[in-house]
Amino acid sequence: MISGEAPRQLEIFLKNKSVTTLNHDWKDVLVIGEHKQSHHGRKELLLQITRYMRNVFTSQPTRRFIHVFFMHVSTMQLWVFDRSGAYSSVEFDIHEEPEKLIRALVGYAFMSNEELGLDTFIVRKGNKHTIIFENDVGGKKRKLELDQEPFVKQWAVCRGTTCFRTADHSNVVKFSWTSEKRPSESDHLRLARQKGLKGIANFIGYQSITSIDELRSGLVFGRPWVVCGDTTLEFTSDSRRSVVDRGHEMNPPVSDNGAKKRRSFSEDATIRKRSKPSSHGSRLQEEPTLDSSRLYELSNGKYDNRIFSCLAISPAGRALNDFNSILELLNALHDAIKAHRSLYLIGQILHRDISENNIIITNPEQADGFTGMLIDLDLAKPAGSSETGAQQTGTVEFMAIQVLRNAVHTYRHDLESFFYVLLWICGRRVWEKGFLYNRNERPREDVFRRWYTGSFEEIARSKQGDMHADGFEQILSSFPPALDCVKPLCTKIRRILFPLTAEGELDIGTPPNPKHLYNQIIQEFEAAISAVDIH
């Protein structure tokens, strides 16, 4: 198999008959089968299949579910994997009930695109791909033509965020599976538009497509199987990425008629998350975001109901780490903080996921004078609303110290995240930009590794140590010489966000007056921008 994260050999699979190439690609896989001569245990087999599933969902990012069948010698079981996990039929012996084997294989071969779980919302005619919003911002139908390939997709199965540019590259269309436990991102964007907020992605249109409840309609589920019950949070050693694994829940429906998915032949896991892309990024990105919906109580006691939706926003900007100059970087962050101030103080919305992926660089002429804008309000909540589920919401390496310790998320925590974004880009991302440094100058030690490695408490302790004077000097030492001009700004913001108490400890609490803290930080950015601009 090509196009996956690593070469893999599938034993049995069905692919589209129109595909005639000799090289098999994950994007062409319709159904997967696995045959074993001996039964090594359900856990091992399921975990092997989930690796296949991630490759299929990544290569077919708007796919809704996938059919799979297992065979252990003469025992067969039919499965369906969707964005909330997996479920199965009961096992049966193909020698004792050969008609079930025939019905299953013939059923797979003659399924419609909808029954196979393929995307039916995007209309594909030749090289033209279009979607229709039943209700756009003006309450009318709107038709948009998309680029053929997404410019952002993620390894993560459960959220499955996938972004396309429109054919004229003026808008971004975002597909995602979001938990029903929180308000839709479109609700926040509509409110921001109604209140005239600037610096926030502009709402164009929204369409709810389907849900896990709808796809699993008619099934009766028994008790979920916990395939991987380790509740310890694990993090990759790969740069800036986290892995969150709270266990894979496999849901067996109480049925003996084969795996059922809507009108399929019978009646008519999540995996490690590694990709939280910016809606305006430029490549497949690893997943650093902790999606708190995975930590909520399951909606109906059996699985997490997720809503598959499509959201169109504008303008289409550039990822923050694609900045062309120090001045552009500082302007983008300055404007994004101003946007956050308006979102919180006027819109009464708290973003809760400030990261390098959720700030974009925009053309001021097309973005109300803003060089930086906030996007991705997936994890936002109304300011002052009571917390439900997990408190630890955000992107691990940018999460505030208190949030890592499960405190209620506040505006100050988002400002702390903005600060971590600045430090991260200056001390880490900038080394990827050849015009700012000599490669031989890059520090051998990655001082930021401890921001995404270990438990939440270990990361919190590392960040708290780095915000003390001695630790902070080490962070600044990771900057290339070309960014010496930014160090005074970083030092001043550190003192604003982390003043010392009478006992000489860092004060990481939230001040009661948000305007004062916002204004202090924004004024320091403006002073730094003026200094850079003069030189």
Q: Under a CB-based contact definition with an 8 Å cutoff, are residues 170 and 303 in contact?
A: no
Average pLDDT over residues 257-269: 34
- The pLDDT value recorded for residue 353 is 94
Q: Please, which pLDDT band fits residue 22 given cuts at 50, 70 and 90?
A: low
For residue 281, pLDDT over 50 is answered with: no
In 3-state terms, what secondary structure has residue 43?
helix
In 3-state terms, what secondary structure has residue 443?
coil
Average pLDDT over residues 428-449: 78
Q: Which residue has the tokens 């012996």?
A: 93
- The pLDDT value recorded for residue 411 is 97
- The pLDDT value recorded for residue 387 is 55
pLDDT one-digit tens code per residue, 41-62: 667 777 788 888 888 999 999 9
pLDDT one-digit tens code per residue, 104-113: 999 999 999 9
- The pLDDT value recorded for residue 227 is 59
Average pLDDT over residues 229-245: 31
Q: What gap in Å lies between CA 322 and CA 329, rounded to an integer?
A: 9
Average pLDDT over residues 489-509: 94
Q: What gap in Å lies between CA 201 and CA 197, rounded to an integer?
A: 10
In 3-state terms, what secondary structure has residue 233?
coil
Average pLDDT over residues 452-475: 95
- Contacting residues for 415 by C-beta, under 8 A, at least 6 apart: 337, 340, 497, 517, 518, 521
What is the pairing mode between strands 249-250 and 318-319? unpaired
- The pLDDT value recorded for residue 72 is 82
The residue among 276 and 447 whose pLDDT is bigger is: 447
Burial of 384 (0-12, 13-18, 19+ CB in 10 A): exposed
Helix%, strand%, coil% for the chain, nearest 5:
35, 20, 45
- The pLDDT value recorded for residue 43 is 73
Average pLDDT over residues 96-100: 95
- Contacting residues for 116 by C-beta, under 8 A, at least 6 apart: 30, 31, 67
Backbone dihedral angles phi then psi of residue 102, each to the nearest 5 degrees: -65, -45
Among the ranges 32-36, 43-47, 168-172, which has the highest mean pLDDT value? Answer: 168-172
How many other C-beta atoms are found inside a 10 Å radius of the C-beta of residue 293? 23
Average pLDDT over residues 121-126: 92
The rounded mean pLDDT for the chain is 82
Average pLDDT over residues 166-171: 92
Q: Which residue has the tokens 């696995």?
A: 34
Q: Please, which pLDDT band fits residue 338 given cuts at 50, 70 and 90?
A: very high
- The pLDDT value recorded for residue 226 is 64
For residue 282, pLDDT over 60 is answered with: no
Among the ranges 13-22, 141-150, 329-338, which has the highest mean pLDDT value? Answer: 329-338
% of the chain with per-residue pLDDT over 90: 57
% of the chain with per-residue pLDDT over 70: 79
Q: Please, which pLDDT band fits residue 222 given cuts at 50, 70 and 90?
A: confident
Average pLDDT over residues 339-344: 97
| Chain CA centroid to CA 463, Å | 23
For residue 95, pLDDT over 90 is answered with: yes
pLDDT one-digit tens code per residue, 192-215: 999 999 999 999 999 999 999 999
Q: What gap in Å lies between CA 191 and CA 343, rounded to an integer?
A: 10
Q: Which residue has the tokens 């490669």?
A: 439
Q: Please, which pLDDT band fits residue 248 given cuts at 50, 70 and 90?
A: very low
- The pLDDT value recorded for residue 285 is 39
Q: What is the DSSP letter of 200?
A: B
For residue 253, pLDDT over 50 is answered with: no
Average pLDDT over residues 279-306: 50
* pTM summary value: 0.80
- The pLDDT value recorded for residue 384 is 79
Look at 139-148, 229-238, 322-331, 347-356 and tell me which has the smallest mean pLDDT: 229-238
Q: What gap in Å lies between CA 362 and CA 226, rounded to an integer?
A: 45
For residue 129, pLDDT over 60 is answered with: yes
- The pLDDT value recorded for residue 433 is 76
